[in-house]
Structure 1
Amino acid sequence: MLRFAHIDILWGLLAIPVFLFLFWEVSRWKRKAIKKLGDRHVVKEMMPDVSFSRPWLKFILFALAYSLCIIGAADPQIGSKVEEVKRKGADLMILLDVSNSMLAQDLAPSRLENAKRAVSQLIDNLHSDRIGLIVFAGQAYVQLPMTTDYSAAKLFLSTVNTNMVPTQGTAIGAAIDLGMRSFDFKNGTGKAMIIITDGENHEDDAVAAAKNATDKDVSIHVIGVGSVAGAPIPYYQDGKQMGFRMEEDGKTQVLSKLSEDMCKEIAAAGNGSYVRATNANSGLNLVMDQIGKIQRKTVDSKNFKDFEDRFQFFLGCALLLLVIEFFISNRKSQRLSNLKLFEVKNT
């Protein structure tokens, strides 16, 4: 298996067409200058020691050396050892509430940012499990399909915000149903969902959806974010907080409260656990202890364990070509010029 340790450096190869264009323009300018002096063949006879082909040879050597330098700097590596690794994994789907109520700041810096930080820490602790991400408000969308690419998972997580779902609300049941459709039940691995929400479900029957999930051996765990006392919901304009959302009377702030009863009902129906998040503890560790008990299927995979650098070969060849190019003169060799293999001698 071949790979490059610094693959971005290969973009430097795009400079070769630029070099070729510049060299061609300089060569054309020289030809025009010679043409102004007179007939091209006569000018060549007047400059017998000047070679018109060697500059091209020197340029070709330079271009090859430059290409080899770029490839060498990218550090090509060859996988030298293949090892069959047995790993055990499960499927874990995160259902993240992105309704406007998640902007409440009873958890610092906000419910949503607190939840995203906790999920990011969870991803850092995963090894062989697959993870997916669903965001929901009034509707649910798959933000990240099931994957073991944890770097991609953190990238997609960083883009989550309350503006990504156009319909406001909290459709937990729809998110559970979408999560069930996103699982691959043919692979035989254990499956679980983690719902992170303030529990203000107004759209559907989340408890019924959780019961349907348990029929397929999918456990559902709930992490409640927010406070029972509630907190006002801020609104933003151009990234700046402009105030808090108000009731229709324009005098009373809209308070968003954590609905613990709803969260507990969903967790109980989903044969899972409920944990309330705080500023000091996200609750994910307790949930993951429960998820750790689910079945993990053994999967065989082949990994290239060791990679050996091969940049030395490319840099060595580049250095050799540059040395050769350096010693090639633009003037003709007198010995080669005097060597006339095809000249017919008169007898």
Structure 2
Amino acid sequence: MDLANLHFQNPEAFFLLLLGPLLILDWWWHAHKRKSTIKFPALAIAKKAAKGSKVRARYIVPALRMAALCCFVVALARPQNATEVEYTSTDGVDIMLALDVSGSMGTLDMLTRTDQAKLGVMNAEKVLKSGRFWDYSRLGYAKNVMAEFVQKRESDRIGLSVFAGNSYTLVPLTLDYGALLEILQAVDDSSASGNGTAIGDGLMNSLARLEKSDAKSKVVVLLTDGIDNASLVPPLHAAEVAKALGVKVYTIGVGKKSGTFLAFQQNPWTGEISWGEQPIPAENSLDEKTLSQIASSTGGRFYRAESKDDLEKIYSEIDGLEKTEIQTIAYARYQEKFYPWLLVGALLILLELVLANTRFVRIP
């Protein structure tokens, strides 16, 4: 039974309040049945005497007894203060982000109109020497979108591995998103050594981090812009390992299939570096067939991104597909509150006894 903010563990105790009217009737019966005789020399004068305030106040004594009874009944009902406590249990998702950091990821072919206009008015030589062009490259856009993906997660462990000619784990599975984001933002083409693109080794590196995971869902999101040409483990063999481990692999290919990209060009006579446009070489095209086979064999999907908007949509879709199931368990913690009622009842009984035997004592 709940009343206001109190919960009563033994509400049946309130039936004892039915004794209240019986006590009142008992007191009234004895008060009127009781007759006393007192000798008084002048009866006429006694009849004219009015009842004093003391006589009228004698009803305080039974009122105190009734109030004490009410307090004792409330105490017996065991009032408790309920504090609601919630525990959240999650069937988490462990996610490894595998990122290609080979030199071709510095290609400026996914520029938004705003970024292309911004770079067009900047000094090309300064941009090249400062390395600022990486912010507008395939890698730069991929890092920004991946950071947004990480920030959307709440209770999943996420790790980061990078690959070029070789593969390295930069961040093992962690819930420390702050540290992960800092390391992600510092990633560039020097984060992994070796020439070429080792897609198979990059996937195997991520799988090694997920091998002992007991998460309900294990996922690798692999992003690359090239063809595997440096792996010790063939990509399709790595996909078989992923399938055996129950790991779902989403593969993302970035870069335009054709067209031109913004590039640095050097004047052979003056050595001056300026902006120019170059055609996208055919040898840099994606191995879409292999990436698609990796994804389909593990229950994932293959995506193609030719712009930053494409990347944002892809990671948003993966975020929606790999949602953590959250179960909230709520229970109440109770704190006993009957002590004050018991104390007040005892004080009222004590006050009744004192007043009945002093101020309101009856003679005879």
Equivalent residue, structure 2, for 1:284: 315
Give the residue type in structure 1 aligned to 2:241.
N
Q: Does structure 1 residue 258 correspond to structure 2 residue 260? A: no
Equivalent residue, structure 2, for 1:203: 230
Distance in 2 between the 1:83 and 1:296 partners? 16
Equivalent residue, structure 2, for 1:86: 89
Aligned with 1:106 (options 104, 109, 123): 109
Q: Does structure 1 residue 192 correspond to structure 2 residue 223? A: no
**Structure 1's 185 and 242: CA in aligned 2 closer, same or farther, altered over 3 A?**
farther
Q: Does structure 1 residue 275 correspond to structure 2 residue 303? A: yes
Structure 1's unaligned 5+ residue stretches are 1-80, 245-250, 301-347
Count of matched residue pairs: 210
Distance in 2 between the 1:297 and 1:172 partners? 34
Would you say the 8 A contact 1:263–1:274 is kept in 2? yes
Equivalent residue, structure 2, for 1:52: none
TM-score (norm 1): 0.54
Q: Does structure 1 residue 138 correspond to structure 2 residue 185? A: no
Give the residue type in structure 2 aligned to 1:266.
I
Would you say the 8 A contact 1:101–1:233 is kept in 2? no
Measured after TM superposition, the shift of residue 184 of structure 1 is 5.0
Post-superposition Cα deviations, 1:177-212, rounded to whole Å, max 9, x if no partner, equal 111111253524310000011132112311221122
* Local SS of the residue matching 2:188: coil
**Structure 1's 189 and 253: CA in aligned 2 closer, same or farther, altered over 3 A?**
closer
Equivalent residue, structure 1, for 2:149: 122
**Structure 1's 202 and 296: CA in aligned 2 closer, same or farther, altered over 3 A?**
farther
Distance in 1 between the 2:260 and 2:192 partners? 22
Distance in 2 between the 1:266 and 1:86 partners? 32
Distance in 2 between the 1:195 and 1:83 partners? 37
Equivalent residue, structure 2, for 1:159: 186
Distance in 2 between the 1:275 and 1:296 partners? 25
Runs of 4+ in 1 over 3 A off after TM superposition: 81-85, 230-237, 241-244, 251-255, 295-300
Give the residue type in structure 1 aligned to 2:321.
Q
Measured after TM superposition, the shift of residue 269 of structure 1 is 2.7
* Local SS of the residue matching 1:187: coil
Distance in 1 between the 2:215 and 2:185 partners? 30
Equivalences for 1:31-42 in 2 at 5 Å? none
Give the residue type in structure 1 aligned to 2:316.
N
Identity %: 29
Equivalent residue, structure 2, for 1:226: 255
Measured after TM superposition, the shift of residue 122 of structure 1 is 0.1
Distance in 1 between the 2:265 and 2:146 partners? 24
Measured after TM superposition, the shift of residue 150 of structure 1 is 0.9
Q: Which has the larger radius of gyration?
A: 2
Give the residue type in structure 2 aligned to 1:289.
G
Post-superposition Cα deviations, 1:207-265, rounded to whole Å, max 9, x if no partner, equal 2211221111101001111011165695799xxx9579xxxxxx998563233233222
TM-score (norm 2): 0.51
Structure 2's unaligned 5+ residue stretches are 1-83, 112-135, 267-271, 330-364
Q: Which has the higher helix share?
A: 2
Post-superposition Cα deviations, 1:90-126, rounded to whole Å, max 9, x if no partner, equal 1000000000010111112211011101101101100
Measured after TM superposition, the shift of residue 290 of structure 1 is 3.0
